[in-house]
Amino acid sequence: MGFNLEAHMPGLVARVTCEVGQEVEENQELVVLNCMKTEISCLSPKPGRVKEIMVAEWDEMDVGIPMIKLEEL
């Protein structure tokens, strides 16, 4: 079973801080969005393994756009 990390606000992707195959913990930073010159961390909602990274630096995000696909451990 899998789940996605979605953008919770509009902005630009400043950094992707995870890699495919990496195991992540709940509340671990996976993506950093830049919104009006403020960096906002996007955190994993629960533990999992990164299955796919669907964004790159400078991609424009809007609310609800999936950024990272994760699979449950």
Residue ranges of domains in the chain, CATH in brackets: 2-71 (2.40.50.100)
pLDDT at 45: 93
* Closest to 43 (Cα-Cα) out of 18, 64, 14: 18
Is the per-residue pLDDT at 52 higher than 90?
yes
pLDDT at 1: 85
Percentage above 90 pLDDT, the chain = 97
* Cβ(9)–Cβ(32) below 8 Å: no
